[in-house]
Amino acid sequence: MSKDNGVLIIGLLTAVTAMACGSSNREPTYWQDVAPILVEDCVACHQEGGIAPFSLDDPDQAAQWAEAVADATKERRMPPWAVTDDGSCGEFRSSRALSDEEIRTIGDWAAAGAPLGEPRDDLRKPEIPTLTGGVEITTPDFVPEIVGGPLAQFDEYRCFVVELERDKDLFMTGYDMIPGNPALVHHALLMLVDPELKIGDKPSNAERIRELDDLSPDRPGWSCFGEAGDGVSTDGTPITWTPGQGVIRLPEGVGVRIPQNHMLVVQMHYNMADEAVRGQSDQSVFQLALAESTPREGFFIDLAPLLKTLFVGETFSLEPGRESVVFTWEQPLAPLFRESSLQSIDLYGVMPHMHEFGRKIHMDVDQGGVNTCAVDVQRWDFNWQLIYFYQEPIVLTRQSTLRGSCDYNTVGRTEPVSPGWGTQNEMCLMGLLLVP
């Protein structure tokens, strides 16, 4: 082949390659490249009336925030989806995780000056998530006070009985919680309490609640650091709300039973470390999606091994001034099956929980020597705590053991951080949705 023919062929190949890859040489624009990503994963919150502070379905606002959006997506702070979701540790439904290519597109768009491109009208904006048709439960209008002590220094845990009219057992299939004063509310639980249950010669649950309520007759409800209060036994926690959670819909066909004869008790955790919120009130609303029946009945449990060290063995306090303090735990599941003929149970979802010193949280399932990664969070963010449901449940057996770790950053602290219920204390908690 002559030199001239070689040059001609190379030139043709270069031209063909440029035509085939022309889109990669074009600067990305809002309408053609970025808007489809934002509409799919961000606009449910980032729109007028949404919970986010600015709109990303508005091209001018999106361009104004382009650098901030590029930075937040590059660091995977946004969209809020804390779990490792690359297939190496569980596969989750309704994932908000962006692909590397999507993150790169947003970054290139911001670096190019956020060009808008040609407007289009074929992108369907998602609706703001709401729980339509839900039954509402409202807590009393309440002014919390700091009553916590060293395990909850700036906090108050307060319980209230709430009413839900029903003439039969119902099944909760979804929920939402709207805090009346988000600056005050750290978390909230809705618990099931059998009023007639008595343990030994102790008062029944209903009698014990009356005793606790009478201790502060001038204020609604009663103090309750441990679930529904000292001496009150609970039969499950259908709702756990934490900041950033939003509307929760249980996996298709799964419901949590709300027995007709059980009381509903709400535990509200109020935090007043910010002096500006002291003296303010809160009245929060729970919304429940209910069904008369569901194909499968599930239940939530919480594993709180760090808190357990306050009562069993040696208390694990976090050493101050450390970039990384790691707490590890394990929980054999044989006790869960002790009084049951079940041979297995399905793990449908997980809810990791730590406080403001948290960095990372992780859990594995040991199935008789075979290890399965169940959930991994490498960038803990207290303000975005979600329940993560699996694409396919993980099967747990009597031989299974759960093993986990929580990693904390205590730089800036001069005193050890104790486990506890206060926002300035710490937890290492894993909520589990189990379905027999």
Q: Per CATH, is 130-294 categorized as 1.10.287?
A: no
Please name the residue ranges forming H helices in 250-332: 305-308
**What is the topology classification, in CATH, of domain 297-436?**
Jelly Rolls (2.60.120)
Count Cα neighbours of 64 within 13 Å in the Cβ-side half-sphere: 9
d(CA 436, CA 341): 11
Listed in sequence order, the residues at least 6 apart from 155 whose beta carbon sits closer than 8 Å to its beta carbon are 146, 147, 148, 186, 269, 270, 271, 272, 421, 422, 423
Residue matched to tokens 């002790």: 338
Listed in sequence order, the residues at least 6 apart from 215 whose beta carbon sits closer than 8 Å to its beta carbon are 222, 223
| Extents of the domains making up the chain | 25-128, 130-294, 297-436
Q: Check for a shared fold between 130-294 and 297-436.
A: yes
Q: If we measure between CA atoms, which residue out of 396, 340, 338, 347 comes closest to residue 368?
A: 396
pTM of the model: 0.85
Whether the bond into 80 is cis, omega within 30 of 0? no
In the chain, what are the helix, strand and coil shares in percent, each to the nearest 5?
20, 30, 50
Please name the residue ranges forming H helices in 97-204: 100-111
Bridge partner list, 266 = 160, 190
What is the DSSP-derived secondary structure letter of residue 30? Answer: I
pLDDT at 173: 96
- Planar angle of CA 62, 64, 65, nearest 5 degrees: 65
CB 111 within 8 A of CB 264: no
pLDDT in tens, the chain (436 residues): 443 444 333 343 333 333 344 445 689 999 999 999 999 999 988 998 888 889 999 999 999 999 999 999 999 889 989 999 988 999 999 898 899 999 999 999 999 999 999 999 899 888 888 887 789 999 999 999 998 777 788 999 999 999 999 999 999 999 999 999 999 999 999 999 999 999 888 999 999 999 999 999 999 999 998 789 999 999 999 999 988 888 999 999 999 999 999 999 999 999 999 999 999 999 999 999 999 999 999 999 999 999 999 999 999 999 999 999 999 999 999 888 877 788 899 999 999 999 999 999 999 999 888 899 999 999 999 989 999 999 999 999 999 999 999 999 999 999 999 999 888 899 999 999 999 9
